[in-house]
Amino acid sequence: MDDEKRMKHFAHVTQAHPCFNEKIHDKVGRIHIPIAPSCNIQCGFCTRKLDGKENRPGVASCVMTVDQALEHIRETTSKMPISVVGVAGPGDSLCNSGTLELFRRVREEFPDLILCMSTNGLLLPRYAEEIAEVGVKTVTVTVNAVDPEIGAQIYDDIEYDGEVYHGIDGFNILLENQLKGIEMLSNLGVIVKVNSVLIPGVNDKHIVEIARVVKSKGASIMNVLPLIPLNKFKDVERPGCGMLSTVREEVEEYLPVFRACTQCRADAFGIPGKKNQDFSLEMVPNSHY
């Protein structure tokens, strides 16, 4: 898909997606379905947690079955304006078989909802065609480096085809699949957003290069997220507004930047960041999930 067609497609699909369009971010809702507990990589800043009350990615109060997820969608859409159903963890979407099954069933029952998913990208080339076939319109791929020396500092373990890889060897496998997957999805008409976690002293000078590379593969928009200090980066200071703003401005030389992300939980639902209208399953009294 050429750039002109990609941008027209982007404008059409994302007009109702609160995580791709800042103008409607506080007006329409999304549902994150916590159906994907397993992950095939270990990021240095990631700590996955169930039953945690922390408001951040990688946290959910439970893991749903497909049937439970559909019931949750039915109940939620009957109570509030929802435009998007997404899978964002608490592990990796493509490392869990229920993700694509859920999307097939949601498309059948709720054809007007936009289907969305987030992934680390390791398995994207394997599933890109199926992702498009089940009706997923937008995919967010987290790419934190395109330089092996930097990537090896961020990722500890890469589990791929039954083997565990470390350091540069592992990162090279991940990066190759991320970039190939982004290109495949883009060519299939799926809109790709790239998330990059800004880690001061590690990749803060490098994110603009990520933007240049992923644009060349067909990404349409980028989201630069401040590090939440956890795991081996727990002692790294969260980047301030000045650093974040500078990096985002550099990225905008290549791609539009989404600036309204609230870094929400894997079981969030409702209108992002809006008081009394943004929820997680932990906040639902007597939740049976």
Per-residue confidence (pLDDT) for residue 46, from 0 to 100: 79
- As given in the structure block, the two tokens for residue 45 are 């800043």
Asked, for residue 288, whether it belongs to a domain, the answer is no
Asked, for residue 287, whether it belongs to a domain, the answer is no
Per-residue confidence (pLDDT) for residue 168, from 0 to 100: 96
Asked, for residue 123, whether it belongs to a domain, the answer is yes
Asked, for residue 132, whether it belongs to a domain, the answer is yes
**Global confidence as pTM:** 0.86
Per-residue confidence (pLDDT) for residue 140, from 0 to 100: 95
CA distance 2 to 218: 9
Per-residue confidence (pLDDT) for residue 25, from 0 to 100: 47
Per-residue confidence (pLDDT) for residue 231, from 0 to 100: 82
Q: How far from chain centre, in Å, is Cα 43?
A: 14
CA distance 218 to 121: 14
Map tokens 């890889």 to a residue: 165
Per-residue confidence (pLDDT) for residue 199, from 0 to 100: 95
Per-residue confidence (pLDDT) for residue 288, from 0 to 100: 47
User: At residue 33, what is the residue type?
Assistant: I
Which long-range contacts (C-beta less than 8 Å, at least 24 apart) are formed by 108-111?
109/70, 109/73, 110/73, 110/77, 110/85
Per-residue confidence (pLDDT) for residue 28, from 0 to 100: 66
Per-residue confidence (pLDDT) for residue 286, from 0 to 100: 43
User: Where are the strands (E) in 63-150, listed by range?
Assistant: 82-87, 114-119, 136-142
* Residue ranges of the chain with per-residue pLDDT less than 70: 1-28, 49, 52, 260-263, 271-289
Count of the separate structural domains present in the chain: 1
Phi-psi region at 92: left, alpha or beta (left = phi > 0; alpha = psi -120 to 50): beta
Could you tell me the CATH number of the domain that includes residue 22? 3.20.20.70
- Residue range of the domain that includes 183: 3-282
Per-residue confidence (pLDDT) for residue 33, from 0 to 100: 93
Per-residue confidence (pLDDT) for residue 261, from 0 to 100: 64
Per-residue confidence (pLDDT) for residue 183, from 0 to 100: 97
Q: What phi, psi does 82 have (nearest 5°)?
A: -125, 130
Asked, for residue 157, whether it belongs to a domain, the answer is yes
Asked, for residue 289, whether it belongs to a domain, the answer is no
Asked, for residue 202, whether it belongs to a domain, the answer is yes
